[in-house]
Amino acid sequence: MSTKVLMILNNHYTHDPRVTAEAESLVKHGYEVKVIAWDRKRRYPTHEVINGIEVIRIKIPNPLDKLLPFEILKVPIWQVLAYKRALQIYKKWKFKIVHVHDWPDLPPGAWLKKRVGIKLIYDSHEIWSYMFLRGRIPKFLREPLWREQHFISRYVDVIITVSKGAAEYFLRFYPKIRLVRNMKQRRESKWERPDSSILRVVYIGGFNKNRCILELVEAIFKIRHKIEGIFAGPEVKGISDVIVMYSKNFPVKYLGFIPRGQVLNVTKKGSLVYLVFKPKDPLYRIALANKLFEAMVVGRACLAGKGTASGKFVEEYKIGLVVNCNVEEIKKALINFIENPKLVIKFGRRAYKVGHKYNWEIEEKKLLEIYQEITGEM
C-alpha cells in the first residue's frame, strides 16, 4: 500500500518549481501526495489535480484579507486554516507524513504531529528570520517571537534545506539536516551552441532592487550594439514598466510572467544568464539562485554578483564572470563578452558539463532516501 503524504505550502503551488518537482518525484515513485496551498491572490481553483497531485487551495476570508494590509499579518490565519483543513483530510485519508515548506507552514505541521503522531519534514527554502526580522528586531527577541527553534526541536523529524549556508544556520540548534538543492531536470541529450553573433542576456525571475535589474537595463542602453536583453517576470512598478519604456527604442524585451514550462526554452534562446544580486541580502550570500541551475541545464554562460553564493560558484567552476551591482562594471563585463564571443561558448560548454553533477535526478535520489529513512523502508 502506498505511503500517503500531505504537503502544506504558503503559495498557490503552480509556480513553485521546487515543490512541484518534489511532489511529482514522490508520485512517480509510488507515493500519494495531496497539497494544501494558500491562494493569496484569489485567482486559482479551490481544487484541482496536477500531474497526479491533488491540490486543495485555501483563501483567507475576504473581509480579513482586505482588512489586513500586510501579508505577514495574514500568516497566523493561514496557519489555523491550513491546520483545520489538514485535520479534515486526515479523517478520511490517513497520511503518514506531513511535509511543510518554510516557516509559515511549520506550526500547522507541528500541531498535526502533536495531534495525530505523523512524521514531520520541515523543508526550508528560505531563512525567514533573515527575510523579515533581521535589522528590525533585536536578535534576543527573534526566537521568542518566531519560535522556529521551539517547533523544530520538539516536533521535526528531519530538516531539508537548499544550500550549505542554510544548513549551517540550522545546525546551530538541530542535528538532522539534509540537502536537496533546487536543481533542474536534465532534458538536453547534447549541448547546443548559442548564437554568438549577438549577446542575448536573459533574466527570468522576480523583480526587486536587490537583483540589479535596472542596472542591467542601463548598461544595455549604453552599449546598444550587438546586444539584446530578454526579461521575464511579474509586473513590478518601477522595474517592469521601465523595461517596457526602454523596449520601445532600445534592444530590450519584456515577456511578462512566463509559465514554468517555458523557462528553460527562453533561457536556451539566450547566450548569457544574468544573476547579479546584491550580497547585502543575507539570503543571496548563503543560497544558490535558481537561475544558476537553469543556466547549467541548457549550457549558458553566467554573469553573477560578487560576494554571493552564486558568484562564488560561478568563479569556482569557471562558468562566467562576476561583478558588483554597478552599471559600469556590468557594462564592462558585457562588452568583454561581446568582444570575445569565444568566452560565451567556453563558459556555456563548461556550464553544461558542470550540470552533469548538479541536476534534479541526483537531488531526487536524496529526497527519496529521506522518505525511506523516516518511514523505515530502507
Cα-based angle 268, 273, 278 (whole degrees, multiple of 5): 155
| 304 SS3 class | strand
φ/ψ of 349, rounded to 5, equals -65, -40
Residue length of the chain: 378
**Residue 41 neighbours by CB distance under 10 Å:** 9
Domain span(s) for CATH 3.40.50.2000 in the chain: 4-183+360-375, 199-354
In terms of Cα–Cα distance, which of 131, 175, 132 is closest to 152? 175
Mean pLDDT of the chain: 90
- The 8-class DSSP code of residue 57 comes to E
SS3 324: coil
To which CATH superfamily is domain 4-183+360-375 assigned?
Glycogen Phosphorylase B; (3.40.50.2000)
Indicate whether 138 pLDDT > 80. no
Q: Does domain 199-354 have CATH number 3.40.50.2000?
A: yes
Question: Average of pLDDT values for 177-190?
Answer: 83
Cell matching residue 187: 532534458
How many Å apart are CA 256 and CA 252, to the nearest integer? 12
The pTM for the full model equals: 0.84
Q: Which SS3 state, helix, strand or coil, does residue 45 take?
A: coil
CB 217, CB 239: distance < 8 Å: no
Mean local confidence (pLDDT), 16-22: 93
292-345 pLDDT, tens digit per residue, is 999 999 999 999 999 999 999 999 999 999 999 999 999 999 999 999 999 999
CA–CA gap between residue 326 and residue 317 (Å, rounded): 23
pLDDT, tens digit, 9 for 90 and up, residues 28-71: 999 999 999 999 989 999 999 999 999 999 999 988 888 888 88
Give the CA diameter of the chain: 65
| 250 pLDDT tier (thresholds 50, 70, 90) | confident
